[in-house]
Amino acid sequence: MSNEISATTESRPANDLDKLTSLFNEEIYVRTDANSIPASKFKIFDDLIEFYKSAGKIDEAKRKIEEYLSEHEDSISARYLLGILSLERGEISDSGLLKNLLESFKVASKWAIIEHITDQILKYGDQRLALKYKAEALEKLKRIKNLKSY
């Protein structure tokens, strides 16, 4: 019985990272791009980020995402996850990923997604780029009056 418990315990960390593998496999299978991704998908991404933060597995998740992104440069999920995790760690090296995502969604006129991404970025401080995209998104969504003074 104790062998079963230790086997289960040993396999647990892999299962945590399997959530990313599953997400990435789905993205490949569905061929998700800026035009086809639903805004609700970002709630799943945010939940994953919170899961890895609370489990103390940001570094492991970040390595897995970087590995995937090296093979799939256009991955929306990997660029978003890595960009937000980098902000969480105070690293700005991956902020270009978020800028590229925002630009992709701007071209696709996905203003609600832009608003969501900029809200997430602004949780980590005032960033002019995020404010610029948020203002444009709110204007396009006819909600400019909701723009807070940052």
Are the beta carbons of 62 and 133 closer than 8 angstroms?
A: no
Q: Give the model's pLDDT for residue 38.
A: 93
pLDDT in tens, 108-130: 999 999 999 999 999 988 788 89
The number of domains in the chain is 1
pLDDT in tens, 33-47: 899 999 999 999 999
Look at residue 54 and tell me whether its pLDDT is greater than 60.
Answer: yes
Look at residue 85 and tell me whether its pLDDT is greater than 60.
Answer: yes
Are the beta carbons of 138 and 147 closer than 8 angstroms?
A: yes
Q: What is the mean pLDDT of the chain?
A: 85
Which of 101, 16, 99 is closest to 59 using CA atoms? Answer: 16
Q: Give the chain's count of helices (H) and strands (E).
A: 7, 0
Residue 81: domain span:
2-146
Detail the DSSP E strand segments found in 8-147. none
User: Domain with 140 in it: what CATH number?
Assistant: 1.25.40
Look at residue 6 and tell me whether its pLDDT is greater than 50.
Answer: no
Most confident of 4-13, 23-32, 97-106: 97-106
What distance in Å separates the CA atoms of residue 123 and residue 29, rounded to the nearest whole number?
A: 32
Q: Give the model's pLDDT for residue 70.
A: 95
